[in-house]
Structure 1
Amino acid sequence: MATAIPTARLGGSTVEVTRLSFGAASIAGLYRPVDEETAIAAVQAAWDAGIRMFDTAPHYGLGLSERRLGAALHDKPRDSFTVSTKVGRLLEPHHGGGNDLAHGFAVPATHRRVWDFSADGVRRSIEDSLARLRLDRIDLALLHDPDDHEEQAFHEAYPALERLRAEGVVGAIGAGMNQSRMLSRFVTDTDVDAVLCAGRYTLLEQSALHDLLPAAAARGTSVIIGGVFNSGLLADPRPDSTYNYAAAPVELLDRAVRMRLITESYQIPLRAAALAFPFGHPAVTSVLLGARSAAEVRDAVRMSVHPIPGELWDELRVEGLLAANVPLPTVRKG
């Protein structure tokens, strides 16, 4: 029996997402292989836990994430779940052999990625994703990492998404990035429903608090937060931990270890605090949980409902690990 997880609408759209979202990059062999059975079981575990928002992209495993997610959700009632995918990278057949580890995925290099934020490229990307996902519509379509394609993204790709939304091919539109500056521009200069911000609003880094989150709150735009563990550092801070997919700087590792000492003094795992933290800001609608197995999903869900006393947040602030202007989550009693 699925647990009831709170839901909210994205911006001014009719698209609803659960407070917890399932990030489907890992089931496509992120960094190391994941077999089909394990991947499908991870999605099913998320479903069993009550998660109904699933995020994917063509980039993840060269389409493997979308195919596996489509297979896992194929027998579920279509109106009972929300799928988010992304545009900006088209997949072209590649016959040179090898693997895709240079892009982070342990899968055969059957395709190559081609950046394309043109209007035609956006429409083609959505059509390809619909086929891989085996769906008749996309609930949330996001411009994916347009960092080096800013003007084309705003002047060609974004209007194309608006047209697709008007046609009902997609339900809500937005952008997903690892930075907050350009996402803030999307919020203020366009009519996006939501943005996905990865790694910029976590226990360790709150740069999105200075631009994106205030803008989103003012416009009524929903913010989905990804990367709450900062690519591993906040899950288990160790000397070999990564931050932003590279070796963690010594000063950040030290801060993470200090945070862990405080959370564990309250018998609370650091990752539970990391999952709870983003919800302190009213613009945050959902937090994305990346997992490659059913066990990882179940652990993340347990962490997400772990009771956390207000004294823990206060101590992090007193110790200088959270700034005075950072909004804190309300006390959660489980």
Structure 2
Amino acid sequence: MELRRLGSTTVEVTTLGLGGAGIAGLYDPVPDAEATAAVRRAFDRGIRYFDTAPHYGAGRGERLMGAALPGGCVISTKVGRLLVPLAAGEPPEAGGFADPPPYRREWDWSAEGILRSLNESLERLGADHVDIVYMHDPDRHEEQVYASAYPALAALRDEGVVRAIGAGMNQSAMLTRLVERLDLDVVLCAGRYTLLDRPALEDLLPACERRGTSVVVGGAYNSGLLAGGTTFDYRPAPPEMLARVARLEEICAGHGVPLRAAALRFPLRHPAVASVVVGCRSAAEVDDNADMFELDIPEALWDEL
């Protein structure tokens, strides 16, 4: 697969990456053997960029990915949430994930919290380093990012502990402010630069081009709607969105291209975008996404879309 460099760093990622929420049991349980098979199949198909986070299955995603991955891969994880063991009688906190381990998530954007989070992630991954660290969902913690979280990550980058730093969010407005105010190598923007929803084209992507910051796009299927599902942005899709998807499917069919293939390739047409990460729950889903990603798409289809 094609490699693209992140910002001015030495980190190169494959243009298709594996997102780690699916194997961690997002919405529905995934057996460990099936999750492991998905990660290994992604490696077999040439994927060398793997993204995870403590939030994914309360650490389960990191443990599964770390155990399954061979060497020679770029791994990103995230900071901002610490995993705290449950007290006696305290109910598990699912956070959208099935079969949650006995932990709850606590926000912590202090320098100490950032270091603790990274160290605990390395332990779960069974690794001595990760290449990229994102600040995860700092929507309500912007001032703490400026005051403590970013300086801690920048120091880790300066010391060579991590090779690239950034932020990952489901919105583009705050990511744009972070790119403009901070020295970020990469941002992970989920769901806001897709065939259906493109606010990042107005603010984030131009800012990243100006600053030399790379973009990783998540949520290219808009949580399922562009892949044959009925959810958009993690909620039931409204009728107008269903109608738009039907029209997109009609256009793609006229060119002999599945909508899934167009959805995966679309973000990479922008020069600031380095990779598209997709969550997969099985080896079969990995194969399907890789097959879609490798299809040739005629320029005439993009013009009509």
TM-score, length-normalised on structure 2?
A: 0.97
Q: CA deviation at 1:108?
A: 3.0
Q: Which residue matches 1:269?
A: 258
Closer/same/farther in 2, CA of residues 98 and 33 from structure 1, 3 Å limit: farther
Residue 237 (structure 2) pairs with residue 248 (structure 1): yes
Q: Which residue matches 1:28?
A: 24
Secondary structure of 1:225 counterpart: strand
Q: Any stretches of 5+ residues in structure 1 without a counterpart?
A: 317-334
1:63-106, CA deviations, whole angstroms, 9 ceiling, x for partnerless residues?
Answer: 00000001001xx23xx1100000000000014365544x1100
Aligned 1:19-98 pairs, distance under 5 A: 19-73=15-69, 76-77=70-71, 80-95=72-87, 96=89, 98=91
1:15-69, CA deviations, whole angstroms, 9 ceiling, x for partnerless residues?
Answer: 1111111101110111111111101100001000110000000000000000000
Opposite residue 306 of structure 1, the aligned amino acid is: L
Q: Which residue matches 2:7?
A: 11
Q: Any stretches of 5+ residues in structure 2 without a counterpart?
A: none
CA contact (8 A) 1:28 1:105 kept: yes
CA–CA distance in structure 1, aligned partners of residues 113 and 179 of structure 2? 22
Secondary structure of 1:147 counterpart: coil
CA contact (8 A) 2:60 2:101 kept: no
1:195-251, CA deviations, whole angstroms, 9 ceiling, x for partnerless residues?
Answer: 0000000000110011100010111110000000000111115xxx11110011111
Q: Which residue matches 2:170?
A: 178
Q: CA deviation at 1:261?
A: 1.1
CA–CA distance in structure 1, aligned partners of residues 43 and 97 of structure 2? 24
Secondary structure of 1:106 counterpart: coil
Quick check: 202-211 or 88-97, which moved more? 88-97
1:254-301, CA deviations, whole angstroms, 9 ceiling, x for partnerless residues?
Answer: 101110111112221111000011011100000001101000000000
CA contact (8 A) 2:93 2:103 kept: no
CA–CA distance in structure 1, aligned partners of residues 157 and 146 of structure 2? 16
TM-score, length-normalised on structure 1?
A: 0.89
Secondary structure of 2:132 counterpart: strand
Opposite residue 242 of structure 1, the aligned amino acid is: T
Quick check: 264-273 or 58-67, which moved more? 264-273
Secondary structure of 2:99 counterpart: strand
CA contact (8 A) 1:130 1:137 kept: yes
Aligned 1:310-321 pairs, distance under 5 A: 310-316=299-305
Opposite residue 273 of structure 1, the aligned amino acid is: A
CA contact (8 A) 2:86 2:92 kept: no
Moved over 6 A (4+): none
Give aligned pairs, total. Answer: 304
Aligned 1:183-198 pairs, distance under 5 A: 183-198=175-190
Opposite residue 100 of structure 2, the aligned amino acid is: P
CA–CA distance in structure 2, aligned partners of residues 280 and 16 of structure 1? 18
Structure with greater contact order relative to length (CA < 8 Å, sep ≥ 6) = 2
Secondary structure of 1:170 counterpart: coil
Q: Indicate which of 200, 220, 231 corresponds to 1:228.
A: 220
Opposite residue 53 of structure 1, the aligned amino acid is: Y
Opposite residue 231 of structure 2, the aligned amino acid is: T
Q: Which residue matches 2:201?
A: 209
Q: CA deviation at 1:109?
A: 4.4
Opposite residue 289 of structure 1, the aligned amino acid is: V
Q: Identity of aligned pairs, percent?
A: 58
Q: Which residue matches 1:294?
A: 283
Secondary structure of 2:249 counterpart: helix
Secondary structure of 2:50 counterpart: strand
CA contact (8 A) 1:118 1:157 kept: yes
Opposite residue 248 of structure 1, the aligned amino acid is: A
Secondary structure of 2:226 counterpart: coil
